[in-house]
């Protein structure tokens, strides 16, 4: 079958990176293993109009991915697909997987959306392909209406699927069982992406030309449940690949794809430390440690001892992030972090001793935050002094505990799902004494106080990468100052894209 997978346009309001979509890369890989002809249309980097792509490729099935700020664009894309072809359209991704809020049904109510896959997609996606294919064999003159006819019950037992029959009825099947054998998955199908059009992993910091940066997933899920974190896709059960399986893919990325840097995208890569020791030993033994790599999303501070970090450094780890979230001792308990500030201090000390660059993720405006607690977050960021401090204003994603709390006791300030980006300098909710003005003031103060320190400026201008990247950094700083104009341009580009 011919299968198209689409990432709807959603560039961030500031100029950050674009990377191949790993979820689509995995779905493409399992489709190819099934024998399908697959194409990926990534609207963020594509020059060909979508209509031309569809007319040329004429897929039998279209899959579209959607996180929360992207979902409205996903609906527009679905409409554009149906305008060109009568073909079943499936949506998947973090937004449509939030069932407590009926967000699968919200998408199914869009006329152009036929099916929604909730959670990890590989299993349900292959099931859908199998069933559409057998239906196609019997029905040479195929219509999506016939496929979704309530008289056929072909999707009734596909786990993890919500769907709409042609009579308009919405159905939600039981959840799919999380994948257990991650080693059994094929590698993400990077060969289907126009790799030369993507940026490097952290373009504001590193001056590596695009196209040669790859991501890898060595584990899935996270056993923790922080109150602000959107965990609609990955189940609470943490599952890992074997070090040997990771090594094989890593080696392929370096030797066959010429990777110049690798980003490990795991939510919590260091849950089982011996696994990382083994992986590091293998990378060193196989001479792969010359390619720098980064823990993009942060590792747990409570599991980052000096011994492990030194080993990771020897294996090529250049930089790691840690989710610090808050500098206030009461707030860190309230967000369910299961870490204390001494542990976090020690993790940053260990990383620095091991020679690893650090990123700290901080949240301004958590429920319960006050001027004093937010100031403690800024002070703590200055104290632990990471190479990059990333402050974001609390954005309550549906399905999180913070979202429930704001729904009960506060007031959302977002007008549509598109506003759920957090580089926009706008507070997303108000609750009690935590007003939008206060959150925005403290957010600006956080950046000012952290980045405008003479010590920090001196350290930064001494970095070679800073000068190599000067033009881009200046542009980025400018866009952070004038986000509104940027957002209008973004919206115009998005509207023009479908
Ligand atoms: C890497 C990453 C990024 C990267 C790259 C994003 C990308 N293009 O993939 C960058 C830094 C650019 C990024 C940006 C943002 N991200 Co991000 N990101 C992640 C992260 C850490 C890993 C994504 C990943 O590769 N996962 C592994 C793959 C295998 O999973 P997947 O992509 O979800 O795909 C699986 C399923 O979702 C499903 N599926 C997905 N699409 C489809 C489509 C079909 C048809 C089907 C059948 C199934 C299906 O099947 C896939 C295979 O199992 C996740 C956290 C996480 N654990 O997922 C957050 C996450 C996805 N990001 C999140 C957010 C909020 C953002 C931003 C909105 C933040 C912001 N700045 O405002 C932006 C949006 C940018 C954008 N352009 O869309 C949230 C999404 C929450 C939500 N409700 O939408 C997450 C879940 C983090 C979190 N825990 O809060 N992100
Ligand atoms: S923030 Fe990190 S540790 Fe907390 S639930 Fe999300 S992925 Fe897990």
The CATH number for 322's domain is 3.20.20.70
Q: Has residue 270 been placed in a domain?
A: yes
Range of the domain at 131: 2-172
Our mutation pick for probing the ligand 2 site, out of 227, 230, 267, counting the most ligand atoms within 8 A of Cβ, is 267
Say if residue 433 is in the same domain as residue 287.
Answer: yes
Query: pLDDT band at 304, cuts 50/70/90?
Result: very high
Say if residue 148 is in the same domain as residue 209.
Answer: no
- Return the CATH number at 145: 3.40.50.280
Ligand 2 center to 297 CA (angstroms): 9
Q: Is 19 helix (H, G, I), strand (E, B) or coil?
A: coil
Task: Work out the average pLDDT over 184-197.
Answer: 95
Q: What is the H or E stretch that residue 163 is in?
A: strand 161-164
Of 126, 83, 80, 79, the closest CA to residue 107 belongs to 79
Q: Has residue 228 been placed in a domain?
A: yes
Max Cα distance, the chain (Å)? 72
Say if residue 212 is in the same domain as residue 254.
Answer: yes
Q: Has residue 346 been placed in a domain?
A: yes
pLDDT of residue 36: 98
Say if residue 364 is in the same domain as residue 426.
Answer: yes
Under a CB-based contact definition with an 8 Å cutoff, are residues 161 and 173 in contact?
Answer: yes
451, exposed or middle or buried, with CB in 10 Å at 0-12, 13-18, 19+?
middle
Q: Has residue 463 been placed in a domain?
A: no
Q: Has residue 107 been placed in a domain?
A: yes
Any ligand 1 atom below 6 A from CB of 228:
no
Task: Work out the average pLDDT over 222-237.
Answer: 91
156, exposed or middle or buried, with CB in 10 Å at 0-12, 13-18, 19+?
exposed
Query: pLDDT band at 498, cuts 50/70/90?
Result: low
Any ligand 1 atom below 6 A from CB of 217:
yes
Tell which wins on pLDDT, 448 or 202: 448
Which of 428, 452, 476 terminates a domain? The answer is 452
Q: Is the pTM of this model over 0.75?
A: yes
pLDDT of residue 482: 52
pLDDT of residue 263: 94
Say if residue 262 is in the same domain as residue 319.
Answer: yes
pLDDT of residue 94: 97
pLDDT of residue 478: 60
Say if residue 62 is in the same domain as residue 131.
Answer: yes
pLDDT of residue 492: 59
- Overall number of domains in the chain: 2
Q: What is the H or E stretch that residue 388 is in?
A: strand 388-393
Query: pLDDT band at 331, cuts 50/70/90?
Result: very high
Ligand 1 center to 93 CA (angstroms): 7
Both structure tokens of 23: 């979820």
Alpha helices (H) along 256-360: 273-285, 306-314, 329-334, 341-354
pLDDT of residue 487: 52
The CA distance from 349 to 157, in Å, is 52
Ligand 2 center to 333 CA (angstroms): 14
Q: Has residue 194 been placed in a domain?
A: no
Nearest CA to ligand 2 atom 2: 267
Under a CB-based contact definition with an 8 Å cutoff, are residues 125 and 117 in contact?
Answer: yes
pLDDT of residue 107: 98
Say if residue 319 is in the same domain as residue 388.
Answer: yes
Task: Work out the average pLDDT over 13-29.
Answer: 84
Q: Has residue 92 been placed in a domain?
A: yes
Q: Has residue 382 been placed in a domain?
A: yes
Say if residue 156 is in the same domain as residue 278.
Answer: no
Task: Work out the average pLDDT over 400-417.
Answer: 96
pLDDT of residue 491: 60
Summarised one tens digit per residue, pLDDT across range 91-144 is: 999 999 999 999 999 999 999 999 999 999 999 999 999 999 998 886 667 788
Say if residue 280 is in the same domain as residue 411.
Answer: yes
Query: pLDDT band at 497, cuts 50/70/90?
Result: low
Say if residue 412 is in the same domain as residue 264.
Answer: yes
Apex CA 410: angle with CA 408 and CA 411, to 5°? 115
How much of the chain exceeds pLDDT 70, in percent? 90
pLDDT of residue 389: 95
Say if residue 316 is in the same domain as residue 448.
Answer: yes
Nearest CA to ligand 2 atom 6: 229
Query: pLDDT band at 236, cuts 50/70/90?
Result: confident
Summarised one tens digit per residue, pLDDT across range 472-488 is: 666 656 655 554 554 55
Under a CB-based contact definition with an 8 Å cutoff, are residues 192 and 38 in contact?
Answer: yes
**pLDDT higher than 90, residue 200:** no
Of 74, 79, 76, 52, the closest CA to residue 64 belongs to 74
Indicate which ligand has the atom closest to the C-alpha of 301.
2
Say if residue 267 is in the same domain as residue 159.
Answer: no
């Amino acid at each position: 079958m011919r299968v198209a997978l689409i990432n709807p346009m959603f560039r961030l309001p500031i100029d950050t990176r674009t990377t191949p979509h790993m979820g689509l890369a995995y779905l493409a890989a399992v489709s190819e293993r099934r024998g399908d002809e697959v194409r990926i249309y990534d609207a963020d980097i594509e020059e060909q109009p979508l209509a031309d792509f569809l007319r040329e490729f004429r897929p039998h099935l279209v899959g579209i991915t959607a996180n929360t700020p992207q979902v409205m664009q996903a609906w527009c894309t679905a409409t554009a697909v149906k305008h060109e072809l009568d073909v079943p359209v499936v949506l998947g991704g973090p937004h449509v997987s939030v069932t407590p809020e009926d967000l699968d049904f919200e998408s199914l109510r869009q006329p152009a959306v036929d099916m929604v896959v909730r959670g990890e997609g590989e299993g349900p996606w292959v099931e859908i392909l199998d069933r559409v294919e057998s239906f196609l064999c019997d029905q040479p003159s195929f219509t999506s209406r016939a496929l979704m006819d309530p008289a056929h019950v072909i999707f009734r037992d596909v786990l993890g699927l919500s769907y709409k029959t042609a009579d308009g009825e919405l159905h939600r099947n039981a959840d799919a069982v999380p994948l257990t054998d991650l080693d059994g998955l094929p590698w993400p199908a990077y060969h289907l992406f126009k790799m030369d059009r993507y940026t490097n992993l952290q373009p504001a910091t590193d001056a590596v030309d695009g196209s040669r940066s790859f991501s890898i997933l060595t584990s899935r899920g996270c056993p923790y449940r922080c109150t602000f974190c959107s965990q609609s896709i990955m189940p609470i059960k943490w599952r890992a690949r074997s070090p040997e399986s990771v090594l094989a893919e890593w080696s392929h990325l370096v030797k066959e794809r010429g990777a110049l840097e690798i980003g490990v995208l795991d939510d919590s890569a260091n849950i089982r430390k011996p696994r990382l020791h083994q992986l590091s030993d293998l990378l060193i033994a196989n001479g792969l440690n010359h390619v720098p790599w980064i823990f993009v999303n942060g590792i747990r501070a409570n599991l980052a001892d000096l011994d492990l970090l030194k080993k990771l450094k020897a294996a090529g780890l250049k930089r790691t992030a840690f989710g610090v979230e808050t500098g206030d001792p009461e707030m860190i308990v309230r967000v369910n972090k299961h870490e204390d500030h001494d542990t976090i201090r020690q993790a940053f000390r260990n990383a620095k001793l091991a020679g690893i660059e650090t990123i700290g993720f901080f949240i301004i405006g958590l429920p319960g935050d006050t001027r004093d607690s937010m100031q403690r977050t800024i002070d703590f960021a200055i104290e632990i002094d990471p190479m990059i401090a990333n402050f974001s204003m609390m954005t309550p994603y549906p399905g999180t505990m913070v979202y429930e709390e704001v729904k009960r006791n506060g007031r959302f300030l977002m007008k549509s799902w598109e506003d759920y980006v957090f580089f926009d300098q706008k507070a997303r909710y108000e609750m009690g004494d935590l007003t939008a003005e206060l959150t925005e003031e403290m957010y600006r103060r956080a950046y000012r106080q952290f980045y405008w320190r003479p010590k920090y400026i001196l350290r930064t201008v001494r970095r070679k990468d800073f000068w190599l990247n000067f033009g881009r950094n200046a542009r980025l700083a400018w866009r952070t100052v004038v986000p509104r104009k940027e957002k209008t341009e973004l919206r115009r580009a998005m509207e023009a894209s479908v």
